Structure 1
């Protein structure tokens, strides 16, 4: 099967079900092995069709906007594929988002239906949906709707229509809705499949939220190659290790934080392999220190292939396991044939190899724009997406990232808007001014640090007080600071009195 010939995600599902119907597709690794579940590629196709028929009976059809906020389960993949079968517009929302981000996504997308998991990890998502005034709440903990497929209309055939809205914090306090098509998601997954050189003996794994842009990225790879993946709904080490070992996972990872967690666990007992079947860690979404790559290879006894992606372009570059050790450690890999990378100066003029500039992208995996208000500066006059990242291309074609223009913190692969956290910090009566910065962290990629300038006469705020205030204001838990510093005055420039964040990073890194 060609990696680039499928026009829609559903057609990819259909073709795989015909080609290897009885091969395992997805496996849920439960804490108790007796509760493990699995589904073949034929069952994935057939059940998704029945769910599509059930959703159709509820009034969902082509163009209907459906938001879903679900954990990493077979059920979640089935619902998403059923929506793809109908040609609905789906808006995945990370399951640990709370009222603030979730409410914004529901309003901006004008979602007509909202699928939730009920109470998950102690939080009542149904109650939140009611608080937010969500329409058409679908409580999936009671089971997905299924019906006879005889009356289903033919599936969509145009893979270039916008049918996906993913959310990224970007540089503003509110998230941005990123518009994708089946074709752009397939292009990203094809890049991953091309780069990793997996074969029929491999077993993948998804330990990150399937609602992340990496979810369909990984699923497309599975459909193209016909290999299974083990799903971890509540990933934690060492608890999840038994699932990796039991199902003989060969490919694991997700982001820098995952690499660090596996490495830390291995160091508890260096005398035996942590996961005997593991041959490759792969991922992206956060900076990867070169020393971490070397430690993984040396101590875990597997290769590490890291890549570069973002919500706007799920797979931009990817290292391959057969790249040189130097490239694997110090670059983000090379782009696939369908991705153009241009490094530019501030005026937008192209720069030669080895010279740092802004990274700009053009290609089939790049999003089709943003939801709602215009973002005229996101694309240049030649249609290249301005990433806001800084870096250079080597003469070999490998990309090296060196920094970011955007004021975004990337913690465990998730974008966190510094401005959003700062605005909420300003609502505390003791805070005069605040600057939120990302500091290098070997486990998270970056950690969130809040630097405060307080009102005169107020007691220095503690980390516990700051996180309690932000949590009460509705900030998602993964955005909470892990470090708080208090200064008499924040450093500013002499013109517009803008806070000089680079000085704070230099001081507290």
Structure 2
């Protein structure tokens, strides 16, 4: 595969001069762990359904990485080849990435909920040579699905199955034979180690606005984010990090797979989210830190409060992906005793802004944090002019962790000659430099010349006792141009109608022109694998409904 990571070379000299790119890869960090703490617990992975737990010390982790690397080489994988991995949070996920890094291959993590439609596009676009997937997971037969897809994917030479017993099983091809002891193993493991600017990860965006884009990252872009992230959170070798968010999402990949190795810390993986299991894991493994989206925090706080089973070792819960309701921060503080940190980031950059550990809790409620070292942000108007504090506009960033570009789609890279990347988000920045995401640029609703603050209205709707999920989208109006439609999913056993929503928002002192004028009630929302609501699908639905009504 020829990677067109065109955004990396122009900023190399500046990033190196500023000390932001340290020219180290995950290989360097893993080798350092083996040298300094070979017997320290490195990885513990729980399979919730079976109860099986697999553990590795750093010595064992490196040995298995070498073994799988040689096994991949035996399958014809070499520098620049793409190895796709559609696994839940199993130990094999971590080891596949470490093995790829040993031989210069590129890992393409894929969410385990993807099916034929998504996979056929991503595997073809990324030219994956090897696909690694479960035989079955949560009752679904991945092997059968992928075997049916493989004939239509000319680049896909091998399907490797975790949990299988045949000739194509992970154990038979990669983790079973002692490949690392064969005569040519050391040559294989040393001759093709990648540089820090080589593409190491190909990960697809969630696709909230249409076709997924293949994001290319190097070791330098990923690690230049992970190091200051860990420093701001005061994480170190004594920490134990729980990752229950999917490893195939950037959150899990960067902070559950890579960061523990960078820190010489311990990682604990949970493959299926069950809050009672998470509480037990935190207690048994003495977990100190975790990162996940708001529903995980809600579940964990509720479970601890209801069970009386505390999690005294958990110091910090970093929450990202959506605004954190104030009452939830209070509940989490009371139940968990942990600091709740708010953050915002993207697949293209990793975490961009975080609140500080010493900030008051209101900062996690009212902001998405301030930039990490190596990151600059600014808010501009439609003409690109910088806006003053408090004004909402397009959010641009310039970061050491900015990606290398979109694979085969350089025209979509969204980065100007001065390295400013258009995030596609709307935001405001306060006088202290803290950002608040206010919406997506494509989510703007202009009702009769008045911009509706979409995210703020959605946040209020989430406070309604009958609403489980909410989204505000535009629908066309002949007189005003656009009006706002609320799309909601009620909580089980609850019902909601438009008058109730209007009265509720009035009680919250919302301006009348901001209140939705139409309501659609659904059983579920169209969403990306990471849980982001796909508003483009909601808009398409409203347009179809309007067309049907016109006919």
* TM category, shorter: 0.7 to 0.9
Deviation at 1:51, TM superposition (A): 0.9
- The answer for the alignment partner of 1:40 in structure 2 is 57
Corresponding residue for 1:194?
A: 231
How many residues are aligned here? Answer: 445
**Is this contact kept in 2: 1:171–1:406, CA < 8 A?**
no
Counterpart residue number, 2:284:
246
Give the deviation of 1:344 after TM superposition: 1.1
Q: Tell me, what secondary structure is at the counterpart of 1:276? A: coil
CA distance 1:399–1:227, change in 2 (3 Å): same
Shift of 1:93: 0.5
Indicate the residue corresponding to 1:360 in structure 2: 396
Offset, 1:353: 2.7
Matched with 1:507 is none
In structure 1, C-alpha distance between the alignment counterparts of 2:391 and 2:485, rounded to whole Å: 29
- 8 Å Cα contact 1:87/1:155 also seen in 2: yes
Could you give the per-residue CA deviations for residues 263-287 of structure 1, whole angstroms, max 9, x where no partner exists? 2223424xx3532322221132233
Q: Give, in whole Å, the separation in 2 of the partners of 1:87 and 1:386.
A: 30
Deviations 1:1-21 (A, max 9, x none): x99635222222212222222
Residue matched to 1:138: 160
User: Which residue in the other structure is 1:302 paired with?
Assistant: 338
Report deviation, 1:157.
4.5
The reply on whether 1:161 has 2:198 as its aligned counterpart is yes
SS state of the match for residue 112, structure 1? Answer: strand
**Alpha-carbon displacement from aligned partner over 1:340-379 (angstroms, at most 9, x marks no partner):** 1121111112223332221111122111111223434722
Question: Would the aligned equivalents of 2:21 and 2:221 in 1 still touch at CA under 8 Å?
Answer: no
1:104 partnered with 2:121 = yes
Q: Quick one: distance in 1 between partners of 2:365 and 2:227? A: 23
Q: How does 1:54-93 map to 2 (within 5 A)?
A: 54-93=71-110
> What is the 5 A alignment of 1:341-380?
341-376=377-412, 378-380=414-416
- Pick the structure with more helix per residue: 2
Question: What corresponds to 1:263 in structure 2?
Answer: 301
Question: What is the distance in 1 between the residues matched to 2:200 and 2:530?
Answer: 29
Instruction: Determine which of 275, 287, 293 is the counterpart of 1:237.
Output: 275
Report the equivalent of 2:40: 23
Look up the match of 2:210. 173
Alignment root-mean-square deviation, CA: 3.7
Shift of 1:69: 0.5
Please identify the structure whose Cα radius of gyration is greater.
2
- In 1, the alpha carbon distance for the partners of 2:359 and 2:290 equals 18
* 8 Å Cα contact 1:7/1:157 also seen in 2: no
Using the TM superposition, give the Cα deviation of residue 339 of structure 1 relative to its aligned residue in structure 2, in angstroms.
Answer: 1.0
Unaligned runs of 5+ in 2: 1-18, 164-168, 445-453, 459-470, 476-483, 493-519
Contact 1:164-1:179 within 8 A present in 2 as well: yes
* 1:407–1:49 CA distance, 2 compared to 1 (3 A): farther
**1:12 is aligned to 2:39:** no
- Please give the per-residue CA displacement for 1:66-103, whole angstroms capped at 9, x wherever unaligned: 21101111111001110111111221101111111111
Matched, 1:290 2:326: yes
Query: Cα distance 1:30–1:121, how it changes in 2: closer, same or farther (>3 A)?
Result: closer
Bigger mean CA offset, 136-145 vs 230-239: 136-145
Deviates more, 1:217-226 or 1:122-131: 217-226
Q: Could you tell which deviates more after superposition, 292-301 or 208-217?
A: 292-301
Residues 373/253 of structure 1: CA separation in 2 closer, same or farther (3 Å cut) = closer
TM-score normalized by structure 2? 0.72
Counterpart for residue 10 of structure 2 = none
Q: Which whole-Å CA distance do the structure 1 matches of 2:76 and 2:341 have between them?
A: 44
TM-score by length of structure 1 reads 0.78
Find the aligned partners of 1:282 and 1:345 in 2 and give their Cα distance: 31
- Could you list the per-position Cα deviations for residues 276-335 of structure 1 after superposition, in whole angstroms to 9, with x for gaps in the alignment? 322221132233223322331133222101211111111111223222333233222221
Inter-partner Cα distance in structure 1 for 2:226 and 2:191: 25
Q: 1:158 to 1:31 in 2, by over 3 A?
A: closer
SS of match in other structure, 2:216: strand
